[in-house]
Structure 1
Amino acid sequence: MPRSLTSLLAVTTIALLALPAQAQEDASDKLTIELNSVEAQDGNCRMSFVVLNGFDSDLKSAVFEAVLFDKAGAVDRMTLFDFGSLPATRTRVRQFVVPQLACDSLGQVLFNGAQTCETDTEASTAQDVCGKALNLRSRIDVEVIG
């Protein structure tokens, strides 16, 4: 194998091995909520979220007001998503069944704010965790914003 190709392979391998560590570092000091999938269930829509509490302290309770928009951009409904307790530096999956919602009509989810956010630390930190440090994303074609 030519030397330049060997060097390129070595650099590429090192860069790829660093990706998981970098992704983990990027999640620190953030509350990451990812819309992972939606699935139709008997006229309802089951939404699956992957949540990572990247902080050093547990969240005792995290409840968010969410606004669901259809693909045309019209508000379909407002609801509360209760993510429950979220342990520090751990990933959890939370599922919510939204009644009488066709998953294929869902265009966007807006996290409108935290209804409840309780941490093991002081109240100002709770607002930082569930507000400023909220990192929203989607793995599917439904946009998630906040």
Structure 2
Amino acid sequence: MIRPVLFAAIVLSIAAPAFAQDATPQGLSIELNAATNAESGGCTFSFLIENGTETEIDSAVFEAVLFDDAGQVDRLTLFDFGALPQGRPRVRQFTVPGRACEDFGRVLFNGVHACDAGDAGPAVCAAGLTVGTRTEIEVIG
């Protein structure tokens, strides 16, 4: 009876690294991790971005559309995420003036405005882009 349990434990310990590798994003992953009201009266968005591509990205700028809580477009803006080393997470913050966080309902990543990824070209910033949120604000892309 101990042998089947031991066998299962060995199989799981060997397979675990393979499962972990499959969970690694294959492109860029952008998560709205927090949204906090700024003292200046605006909203500070904190994004966690991970470069799961096979290349270093020297600069990545995305066009974002911010919607109010009624679903209407509030503004278009650019989020400059800067340099994104391959395989390493980064946190970037952007303060949007004029509205409290609870007044925003959705962020749409509309497209790549600029991407400097050397020989890989700008398409690397858009290929495999995934977005998500840990806040009440919906994020789509």
Using structure 2 for the length normalisation, give the TM-score: 0.83
- 1:32 paired to 2:65: no
Contact persistence 1:46–1:98 (CA under 8 A): yes
Distance 1:51-1:74 versus aligned 2 partners, 3 A rule: same
Return closer, same or farther for 1:85/1:69 CA change in 2, 3 Å cut-off. Answer: same
Identical amino acids, percent of aligned pairs: 49
1:130 aligns with 2:125: yes
CA distance in 2, matches of 1:72, 1:99: 18
* Structure with a larger share of its residues in helix: 1
Given candidates 109, 114, 139, the residue that maps to 2:134 is 139
- Cα offset for 1:24? 5.2
- 1:133 Cα shift? 1.1
Secondary structure of 1:27's partner? Answer: coil
CA RMSD of aligned residues (A): 2.3
When the two structures are aligned, how many residues end up with a matched partner? Answer: 132
Q: Mind listing any 5+ residue stretches in structure 2 that lack a counterpart?
A: none
Alignment partners' CA distance in 1, 2:18 and 2:107: 29
Q: Structure 1 residues 21 and 29 mapped into 2: Cα distance closer, same or farther (>3 Å)?
A: same
State the distance in 1 between where 2:20 and 2:67 align.
Answer: 30
Deviation at 1:131, TM superposition (A): 1.8
Shift of 1:23: 5.5
Instruction: Give the distance between the partners of 1:21 and 1:48, measured in 2 at CA.
Output: 31
Q: Distance in 2 between matches of 1:64 and 1:44?
A: 20
Offset of 1:102 from its aligned partner? 1.0
Conserved 8 A contact 1:60-1:86: yes
**Counterpart amino acid of residue 25 in structure 1:** D
The offset of 1:132, in angstroms, is 2.9
Extract unaligned runs of 5+ from structure 1: none
